[in-house]
Every structure is written in C-alpha cells, then in structure tokens.
Amino acid sequence: MPSNRLTPLQESEARRIAAEEARKNKVTRVYSDDEKAQRKERVAKAKDALARSAGVKGVQVPPARAALKSYLQKLNEPRQPDDAQFEALLEAPFKAPPKKRTNDRF
C-alpha cells in the first residue's frame, strides 16, 4: 500500500510555500479617515470603560470586562459590533443584573 502522508520536512515546506503565496495575494484594505476616527474613538471608550470598571464589584463585571478585552483583541477582524451593541458592551460592567424573583412567601 503506497503511503500518501508527507514527511515533516515536506509538510513544513508546503506550509511555507502556502504562506508565501498568501502574502503575495494579500489585498490591503484602505480605511477612510472617518473609519479611522471612529476606531480610535471606540478604542478610547473601551479602554476607559476597562479602567473605570477595575474597582467595580459584582457578578456582571468579570464577563463584561472579558468581553471588552476580547473586543480590543479582535479590532482587525472584519465583523465589528454596531453602535447599539458597542454601547451595551461599554455599559455592561456598570449595569447591575436584574434581581432574581423568588416565591418564598413564608
């Protein structure tokens, strides 16, 4: 039975060639001044919200801070939240979660 598996050397060479081709065919996106300004404003707001939420306590704070950090890490990805989602992301650490209702009437 012939083996179709690549040796580690062949595999690394194929990856290197593929990466080279991807670099050659890469299309650079040109951002307008408005997009750049909006991005800078959003980054400043997100960093400000992270700084202000550092001392806040509550169950909602850690996941909200993680979401803000994730947003800052994924700035270069094409899918970005719209304005309403972004505002909700900024308010999340400071907004107390709704209280749980119980039927304890004893």
Mean pLDDT value across residues 40-58: 92
pLDDT at 106: 60
pLDDT in tens, 20-44: 988 888 777 788 999 899 999 999 9
pLDDT in tens, 67-96: 999 999 998 888 888 899 999 999 988 887
Distances (CA, A) of 105 to 16, 86, 99, 101, 102: 69, 40, 17, 11, 9
Helix residue ranges per DSSP H, 1-106: 8-24, 33-52, 61-73, 83-91
